[in-house]
Amino acid sequence: MVGFRSLRILGQNSFGLSSGEFASILGKSGCGKSTLLRAIAGLDMAFEGKILLGEAPITGPGLDRGMIFQEPRLMPWMTVQKNIEFAIPKTARNKSSFEHVKQLIHLVGLDGFNQAWPNQLSGGMAQRVALARALVNIPDLLLLDEPFGALDSHTKISMQTELERIVRYEGTTTLMVTHDVEEALFLSDTIIIMSQQPGSTSHVISVDLERPRSRTSQRFLDIRTQILEKAYHVEEGIA
């Protein structure tokens, strides 16, 4: 449970992720999705209960988790490469780690932009840098807080496809917050639906769809309808 004074933001939430799994938390704005993600990231520890990563309880931020926010949060005075390198602890910065940065720049499709400045990047490119930065320490868990919400539809779809490719290649366990049903269905192995405040886990849905996924296939559309029906049954609706 997470709360502030008499306001209870989160209720009972219980779910687990398998290694390499991609899960999405789906719910209306204000249901506590981002608050729950921040608790898992160790950025907000004002809660009752416990969160385990492996067998160890989460007690604060750590290099075993990488996080991408709704905006890229790049340092404007640093180049693309320096922004990614900045996330590496000083004691771990060496030739090998810097080579890993270059490999990540290639992985996220930014070859040739190593020395570019943030103000020279499009929104999608900036989020690619944020993704590389989140992966640079090879985290056990990647956390994403509506990372594509500010992008136009075309760029958003492109970035969803790229994200799927990258996390599958890296084998990274991933948990994403979104209010976009189609995004959750396209990317996820599991979808966790949260009810309104106090935000609680109402449904955990396993997505039985082969990859690569087609957004226009009848099976995709049928499952999308099922998810919407479950969400509407829980509350008035999901935007």
pTM, whole model, 2 decimals? 0.89
What tokens were used for 162? 């790229």
Q: Is the pLDDT of residue 199 over 60?
A: yes
**Torsion sign across C-alpha atoms 161, 162, 165, 167:** negative
Q: Note the pLDDT tens digit of each residue in 71-93.
A: 999 999 999 999 999 999 999 99
b vs e for 91-121, b when ≥16 Cβ sit within 10 Å of the residue's Cβ?
A: eeeeeeeeebbeebbebbebeebeeebbeeb
Q: What is the mean pLDDT of the chain?
A: 89
CA dihedral 225→206→179→129, nearest 10 degrees, is: -130
Percent of the chain residues past pLDDT 70, beyond the cut: 89
Q: How confident is the model at residue 197 (pLDDT cuts 50, 70, 90)?
A: low
Query: Element (H or E) spanning 154, and its range?
Result: helix 153-170
- Interval 139-151 mean pLDDT: 95
Q: Note the pLDDT tens digit of each residue in 18-45.
A: 999 999 999 877 778 888 899 999 998 7
Q: Note the pLDDT tens digit of each residue in 50-63.
A: 888 888 888 899 99
Which domains can be identified in the chain, with CATH numbers?
A: 1-47+59-64+141-239 (3.40.50.300), 74-138 (no CATH)
Q: Which of 122, 134, 121, 141 is nearest to 86 (CA)?
A: 134
Contacts of 165 (CB under 8 A, 6+ apart): none
* Phi-psi category of residue 65: left, alpha or beta, with phi > 0 → left and psi -120 to 50 → alpha: beta
